[in-house]
Amino acid sequence: MKKEAMFFHPEEGKIRCVLCPHYCLIAKGNVGFCGVRQCGQSGDELKLFTLNYGEITSISLDPIIKKPLYHFHPRDNILSVGSFGCNFKCSFCQNYSISQHRAESRYVPTGEMADISLRNTDSIGLAFTYNEPSIWYEYVYDVAGEIKRRDGEHKIVLVTNGYINEEPLKKLLPYVDAMNIDLKGDGEFYKSICLGKLEPVMNTIRAANGEGCHIEVTTLLIPGENNSHETLDRLGDFLASVDRDIVLHVSRFFPRYRMKKPATGMEDLKKAYQQLRKKLTNVYVGNVSEEEKSYIMKQ
Ligand code: SF4
């Protein structure tokens, strides 16, 4: 559904979107980099509209450890929903069919989504995941607010790339109990592979961690792209400067979408795990079997 967006202003006869650090300047009829925010006429004014409000492409009851969140109600399930669109263009995207395309969706109004979530007794709350929740902002904000007003104990979770500006982040955080934020690589990796920037993601991790929200971080380890000793050193140093006890998931890469490199080898994962473990208390490996996990995490 099309709905007026929350973070924009008019500029040079166009609309400047200030939701995320791309700061798209959008002419009438066009969409921003994420493909889901469109500049349009409303009366005699230009405005910005979100195109994916309430549009659900995926809904599923998942174990919360699949998000992954290991230190936040790890034995529970959480109802998980997603829409379409993303503000990155990662060539290795694991969910490209909904992140990079206008996937088929069903409109679910705010109150109905809150009802579905609150009635599900097998779930501790609602996770906004699968595609990027930042660019689904208005719906996430409305549904999370509605749920918290009706039941403050019902958990709200975001699985996000962290590419959001400070003002919208701070407005949403009071409703959010836990986040898993991707930290994908160094500045060059963000620039060339995701078409974004590293610094705003670091700012999100710092800001969210300081707001009493439970934070875990995920790095998908791609051989030859983000697993050099220097890159992992900087990543570990940054996270340790936020909180040495922050949870980091180092995930195994498998070829997907446009990135056809071979899957991450066990030795690369083990090396990364051992290096990061020297800087951080809670490092886990993901996308591996239990047997592989115990081999890698064996001290
Ligand atoms: S949310 Fe979309 S339109 Fe807005 S600045 Fe980011 S990429 Fe551009």
**30 lies in the same domain as 72:** no
- 159 and 268 in a common domain: yes
Same domain, 177 and 39: no
Pair (133, 267) in one structural domain? yes
17 and 74 in a single domain? The answer is no
From residue 86, alpha-carbon distances to 28, 33, 157, 248, 283 in Å are 21, 8, 18, 23, 27
Say which DSSP state 259 is in.
B
Number of independent structural domains in the chain: 2
Q: What is the CATH number of the domain that holds 130?
A: 3.20.20.70
26 and 65 fall within a common domain: no
Atom number in ligand 1 closest to CA 135: 1
Pair 101, 243 in one domain: yes
User: Do 162 and 46 share a domain, yes or no?
Assistant: no
Per-residue pLDDT of the chain (299 residues; tens, 9 = 90+): 999 999 999 999 999 999 999 999 999 999 999 999 999 999 999 999 999 999 999 999 999 999 999 999 999 999 999 999 999 999 888 888 888 888 899 999 999 999 999 999 999 999 999 999 999 999 999 999 999 999 999 999 999 999 999 999 999 999 999 999 999 999 999 999 999 999 999 999 999 997 789 999 999 999 999 999 999 999 999 999 999 999 999 999 998 888 888 999 999 999 999 999 999 999 999 999 999 988 898 76
Residues 44 and 139 in one domain: no
Same domain, 28 and 105: no
Show the domain range for 249: 55-297
Is 34 labelled a binding residue?
no
- Give the position, in ligand 1's atom list, of the atom nearest the Cα of 22: 5
Q: Please choose from 7, 16, 28, 33 the residue to mutate so as to test ligand 1's pocket, defined by most ligand atoms within 8 A of CB.
A: 33
One domain for residues 293 and 231: yes
100's tokens = 């990079």
Same domain, 34 and 139: no
Task: Using alpha carbons, list the distances in angstroms from residue 137 to 85, 141, 166, 245.
Answer: 12, 6, 13, 29
Best of 4, 135, 201 for a ligand 1 pocket test (most atoms within 8 Å of beta carbon): 135
Q: How far is the CA of 22 from the centre of ligand 1 (A)?
A: 6
* Nearest alpha-carbon partner for 4 in 59, 35, 66, 47: 47
Instruction: Please state, in angstroms and rounded to a whole number, the distance separating the CA atoms of residues 170 and 185.
Output: 24
Residue 185 and residue 192: Cα distance in Å, rounded?
11
The verdict on pTM exceeding 0.85 is yes
